[in-house]
Amino acid sequence: MRNDKKSVKLITKLLRQTSSLSIVSEFLKVKGLPHSAPSWDVMENNRLIPAIKSKKITIQDLTVLLRNVEEYGHQHVFLYRYTKPDIDTLIGRERVNSIMSECGLTHLLATPKVLDQPQSPEISDIRWECVSSEKTQQFIIKIIETRETSELLSEASKGDILTKKWRIKKERAVNLFKLRADGVLELRITSQSNSSQYKTKVNQIWELVADFLPKNNFTEISLSKAKDLLMRDRNLLQDKIRFSDTTLKNDAGNTIKAATGSPASSLNEDDGINSSMEAFISHDAYCDSHNIWFKLSSNSDQDKPREIHVLLSGEGNEFAITAHCSSQEYEYVYDQLRNFNK
Amino acid sequence: MSTINSETLINNFPEDRDTVQRLLAIFDDSQERTRLKEFTLKRLFDRTLPRSEIALAQILNYLVSTGSLKRIVRVESPNLGGVEDFSSLMEVPEVIHDWRRDIEMCVTPEDINIIYKVISDFGDGAR
């Protein structure tokens, strides 16, 4: 039980960072267990630990819950396509098991490793997931890393010397490769707090899985068609999508950027903005980026309608879901973007 | 929605009669032409040509106190566009998530804009 208690404490700590009390409460409620908790301490001590003790739930159940909440959203996603015909061999158990054995990772086959802040980026989970609707499998590798950022604490000047004091802040980041049966690979990288540039990070993370997923066999999927469709059909899509900013460019390198003043308003509401973008587009401009919100209907009359914020900017194959979301919400956004990009 | 009485406003600011009339005309016009109805202090200063910034600020403060205008403290992204609205400067945090760039930003005075949003009906102001 001592080990179980330690595991619960670690998983609760990670759930605190990536989820909400209501999600954990719902998880317990579905299992028919006492689920209300006004604080994380109460949730841990009065709900989760007794449930484990009485064997109503297992550490494995909590690990799966953590997996579901930490793998979706607050991420920049990079899309690639596998260019070879042998995807079944690539993600086949025989090949993957052999590489895991060579890399000393066979222990992950039984159960994923729950990591808080490892010294260096570490593979914590390798698994296959069945997609029952398609009768196919998808292959997933998860990597946990610890990132360091600095926070200015104070600054003092004496004469012509300025001294600044910084605190190093450590943050846990969850990165994930998901290769779907149709050959599309998502590389999801937890949002960086201090930079919007991800190219170096993509290369660093990919190095860790190069044995499993050789980068040369993948090509980037440009999202330019989706960006152009969003621009072209923005009026048709206004019940589905709210537009916060849009950047248009032409081949002379000239740029028009339209952005709402109010965080809550939509570019669609402004006829002047729409006309100016139309005029630029009619002179061979193209859409370089969008900042949009997918509108989701609420489950009940009491719930507020929810919006999922999505950036379509940065690298050509990049989109971002900036806040944590459920797996269903993630899949909805992913499917929409793939459809727009056809 | 209440209607601003232009006479009351002019009586409160007799030295700024012209500014008041121009201000009310702007607010009235904005309601007819756009749903957005938000103005920066700088924009209002340019269009109302007041004797001083303080004189304009006093009129705006009065309109805020009567509930005709709402003052919004808006943190803006260096990438353009508002990030989050606050009701006072005291509420603005030192660090905020700039969702337009998906990055944490340290808020500086340059990132803050004071916005006046029209709440009441200014219909009689311009006539």
Q: What range does the domain containing B55 cover?
A: 6-118
Q: Hey, are the CB atoms on B82 and A263 less than 8 Å from each other?
A: yes
What mean pLDDT is predicted for residues A43-69?
Answer: 89
The reply to whether A201 touches chain B by the CB within 8 Å rule is: no
Average pLDDT in the A293-309 region?
78
Does B113 reside within a domain? yes
Decide if B103 and A320 are in contact by the 8 Å CB cutoff.
no
Q: What percent of chain A has pLDDT over 70?
A: 97
State how far the Cα of A203 lies from the Cα of A223, in Å rounded to an integer.
Answer: 20
In B, what residues contact A, Cβ < 8 A? 34-36, 38, 74, 77, 79-85, 97, 99-104, 106, 115
Which of B80, B82, B102 lies at the smallest CB-CB distance from A191? B102
Query: Looking at chain A from residue 130 to 169, which residues have their Cβ under 8 Å from any Cβ of chain B?
Result: 152
Q: Count of CB contacts below 8 A, A vs B?
A: 56
| Whole-number Å distance between alpha carbons of A98 and A104 | 10
The per-residue pLDDT for range A110-132, each reduced to its tens digit, is 788 888 889 999 999 999 998 87
CB nearest to B102's CB, from A257, A263, A311: A311
Mean pLDDT for chain A?
91
Q: What average pLDDT does range A222-237 have in this prediction? A: 94
Q: Which of A133-137, A273-277, A293-297, A301-305 has the lowest mean pLDDT?
A: A301-305
Instruction: Categorize the per-residue pLDDT at A223 as very low, low, confident or very high, splitting at 50, 70 and 90.
Output: very high
Question: Average pLDDT for residues A308-332, to the nearest whole number?
Answer: 93
Q: How many domains does chain B have?
A: 1
Pairing type for strands B112-118 and B38-40 reads: antiparallel
Give the pLDDT of residue B3.
Answer: 61
CA–CA separation, A150 vs B91, rounded Å? 23
A192 → chain B, closest CA residue: B103
The rounded distance, in Å, linking the Cα atoms of A261 and A244 is 9
pLDDT at B93: 95
The whole-number pLDDT of residue A109 equals 82
Mean pLDDT over A220-234 rounds to: 95
| DSSP for B3-49, written as a single string | B--HHHHHHH-GGGHHHHHHHHHHHHHHHHH-S--EEEHHHHHHHH-
Chain B touched by A275 (CB under 8 Å): no
B26 domain-assigned? yes
Contact across the interface for A322 and B99, Cβ inside 8 Å:
yes
The whole-angstrom distance between B59's CA and the closest CA on chain A is 23
Q: Is the pLDDT of residue A338 over 80?
A: yes
The reported pLDDT for the residue numbered A225 is 96
Per DSSP, A192 falls in state: P
ipTM of the complex: 0.78
With respect to residue B125, please indicate whether it lies within any of the assigned structural domains.
Answer: no
Which residue of chain A comes nearest to B102, CA vs CA? A322
Does B100 contact A291 at a Cβ distance shorter than 8 Å? yes
Question: Which of A74, A190, A291, A309 is the best mutation test for B, with the most CBs of B within 10 A?
Answer: A291
As a whole number of Å, the CA-based R_g of chain B is 16
CA atoms within 13 A on the CB side of B45: 12
Contacts of A69 (CB under 8 A, 6+ apart): A15, A18, A19, A23, A324
End-to-end CA distance of chain B: give it in Å, rounded.
19
Give contacts of B96 with chain A, Cβ < 8 Å.
none
**Smallest Cα distance from B14 to chain A, Å:** 33
Identify all chain A residues contacting B115, using CB atoms and an 8 Å cutoff. 261
pLDDT at res. A60: 86
Residue A289 contacts B, CB cutoff 8 Å: no
The proportion of chain A whose per-residue pLDDT surpasses 90, expressed as a percent, equals 64
Residue A151 in this model has a pLDDT that exceeds 50: yes
Domain assignment present for residue B111? The answer is yes
Q: What phi, psi does A317 have (nearest 5°)?
A: -105, 20
| pLDDT computed for residue B121 by the predictor | 65
Q: Residue A143 in contact with residue A164, Cβ under 8 Å?
A: no
B104 with A193: Cβ contact below 8 A: yes
Closest chain B CA to residue A74: B102
Q: Is the dihedral of CA A222, A223, A227, A232 positive or negative?
A: positive
To the nearest whole angstrom, how far is the Cα of A320 from the nearest Cα of chain B?
Answer: 8
Domain for residue B62, yes or no?
Answer: yes
User: Does residue A68 register a pLDDT over 90?
Assistant: no
Shortest CA distance to A318 belongs to which of A74, A75, A142, A83?
Answer: A75
| Contact flag B102-A196 (C-beta cutoff 8 Å) | yes
Please give the residue of chain A at the shortest CA–CA distance from B34: A270
Q: Is the pLDDT of residue A2 over 70?
A: no
In chain B (127 residues long), the average pLDDT of successive 10-residue segments reads 72 91 82 67 90 92 91 94 94 94 93 89 50
